[in-house]
Structure 1
């Protein structure tokens, strides 16, 4: 692997949105509007598209999901619950925003407005309806869990925490059926717990996707450098979050791309990770064939030129079109998809380019993929998926740097995890499109290098979204893996 990307490299990129701060004019939590019906006609799709306000709707959609948690307190003006003899350490969940960048955006008028180091500490607030700050540092959005009362995890302030991380293009609200158990299991293990939105996704800051482009003047970038740059975009921001909170070690729980990035973090900062729980992780199996030539080597169009929400910006230039897919043995559609992937196209960019058709497309996915949920849950999940998908493109443009066409890792984790020494769990669904053989191979290789505390678990009646397909078994696993830590 190449040398780590300097932290300063991220500071040159303009942040496309600001941290979220409470709006004093926001309605009380009791007036949170319900989610709208899933569009089933073109007319309702147009209406949903026309009225959509991505940032406000995303905050509302997240809160609807979080209100299902008995421990969730939507307002920072509401004090912690009072301990009782029957419940001396009540669990509390609150929305938080953590600054990970003390520098202001380049557009800020005065450097004298830069926050003091103290402003990088954890900040908790109710997000409700939101407004922008004029000058804001980068931040990671999340939900934090702690137990109140004397002897609770809030008072003890332990230096080891559990962190739950979502997958590609998703956000923390996808875990709404598991978050309560995640918090409870963590508290039984004597730890605070956090579910975070990755940088560039969910309600965290969304920097320019230029972070994933090759350095200026570099035409033949190595696969290692390309992958390293994309990984560092995420894992260095997680490291800044850890520093801001003053935590020493973390148990990382990551789904899909979040699992891949959790391993990448453990490889770069091994002393900061005490356990890995990888839920249907992406990018683990060894490649069946050599990785394709990198996009930089093909002198592809920079991703920033296509990182727009309009259909026009999702169309490559005439020069690139001339270098489009050539006839070959593969079907043309598959060949075009591989070519578009190498161009850096984002599936969410394509979705945004659909304009008024987008709500209907997301609705079809939501109702069919999560048909096991109640009607109200499907509405709320649909609202959340649509809001996160329509937000300004940022972290989503990492995908072609990390994975080759066909979703095979350019640098598979099974070949990189040999020297991981912490307890590691691979969890797959029995109908998962992620291959559990990748986890089994990684476990075999780690055992050969002395790490015996590794295993692969297959969850019945579950696909890739194990936590929604079989939340009961997923919650049992969370309790089994987290409640005995006591550190």
Structure 2
């Protein structure tokens, strides 16, 4: 039983895991038992090792690109990859990763997508190599902190407008940014977005959540989602390899070893800044406190939306239809990529890249 719970907990890039709270509770407990200065030595990781893991992730890329920390407010900075390509005058495509992710996970997409326009990929505030500041405990304020960090990043780089693509949590934040700064978004691309539907009433669910899971979620909900990975200490890298072998398979065409698992591990055992922010945006079982479907109808009608899902994903694919219903006087395109799960861009990268390029072509 314990192993099965741990398995679900380690589905840490899937925001809808029902069981992530258990090891989070243990993380907080351990922190009360040992002094905080001891904890970093428990996890075989460091910012240097994260940097090295990312460099190994990006090694297959043959195109020229640059890497830099883009400074924003409060002495923070967002780690950014820039592919300027040969069509620098065209509207740039900006990629926002999902929960627990980082720029390295776009390795199968960056070169193909940058053939026709500049492409920017950034580590969200609190994730990856970007700064990991303190976030508010209020969901509205957390969302605003993320949105303002993206706007400050855009202004610093001098981008007048962009095609904004977000996966998972990145999709939610891309929509939130578009609502506040519509003049800066030429096209919104939502890839398996998190946080759009409201949490269903218990009576509306096909499979009611067992009482013991409800109780566990209520008791442990204050704690961070990825705590179990940090608690595993020296076993963490092996745990990722064992419990998430699918990531190795997704990138097997370019990495025959554990490069991807190592990168994911080092991404998620650093200071849990963005992780805590995400927790503050959720209610039990991974639903958003401020569901985006309540607001997406307010998005400026001139901003077209493309929604991309994996045909085999467990994420609710009905949000795209709901968006289309709300925006009948605006362009909404829904695409399901055959054979892909939640990580569409890695499951079927060629089909995903082709679709994104088609969407981008409608901008100019």
TM-score range, shorter chain: 0.7 to 0.9
Structure 1 position 142 matched with structure 2 position 80: yes
d(CA) in 2 for partners of 1:161, 1:180: 14
Structure 1 position 360 matched with structure 2 position 272: no
Structure 1 position 174 matched with structure 2 position 105: yes
SS in 2 for 1:97: strand
Which runs of at least 4 in structure 1 moved beyond 6 Å after TM superposition?
A: none
Alignment partner, residue 206 of structure 2: none
Q: CA deviation at 1:163?
A: 0.7
Indicate conservation of the 8 Å contact 2:311/2:339, yes or no.
Answer: yes
TM-superposition CA deviations, 1:354-407 (whole Å, max 9, x none)? 222322221113324443442835511011001101111101112233222122
Indicate conservation of the 8 Å contact 1:428/1:459, yes or no.
Answer: yes
Alignment partner, residue 415 of structure 1: 294
d(CA) in 1 for partners of 2:350, 2:161: 28
Count of matched residue pairs? 315
Alignment partner, residue 212 of structure 1: 136
Q: CA deviation at 1:144?
A: 0.3
Indicate conservation of the 8 Å contact 1:431/1:464, yes or no.
Answer: yes
Indicate conservation of the 8 Å contact 1:276/1:424, yes or no.
Answer: yes
Indicate conservation of the 8 Å contact 1:367/1:378, yes or no.
Answer: no
SS in 2 for 1:280: strand
Alignment partner, residue 195 of structure 1: 121
Indicate conservation of the 8 Å contact 1:54/1:388, yes or no.
Answer: no
Alignment partner, residue 285 of structure 2: 406
d(CA) in 1 for partners of 2:326, 2:342: 24
Q: CA deviation at 1:227?
A: 2.2
Indicate conservation of the 8 Å contact 1:286/1:438, yes or no.
Answer: no
**Unaligned residue ranges in structure 1 (runs of 5+):** 1-48, 72-91, 104-136, 214-225, 291-328
Kindly indicate which of the two structures has a greater share of residues assigned to helix.
2
Distance 1:202 1:456, change over 3 A: same
SS in 2 for 1:207: coil
Mean CA deviation greater in 244-253 or 367-376: 367-376
RMSD: 2.1
Counterparts of 1:103-252 in structure 2, within 5 Å, are 137-147=75-85, 152-153=87-88, 160-185=91-116, 187=117, 192-208=118-134, 211-213=135-137, 226-252=138-164
Which of 302, 305, 317 is the equivalent residue of 1:436? Answer: 317
Q: Which has the larger radius of gyration?
A: 1
Distance 1:50 1:228, change over 3 A: closer
Superposition TM-score, scaled by structure 2 size: 0.81
Alignment partner, residue 215 of structure 2: 335
d(CA) in 2 for partners of 1:435, 1:228: 23
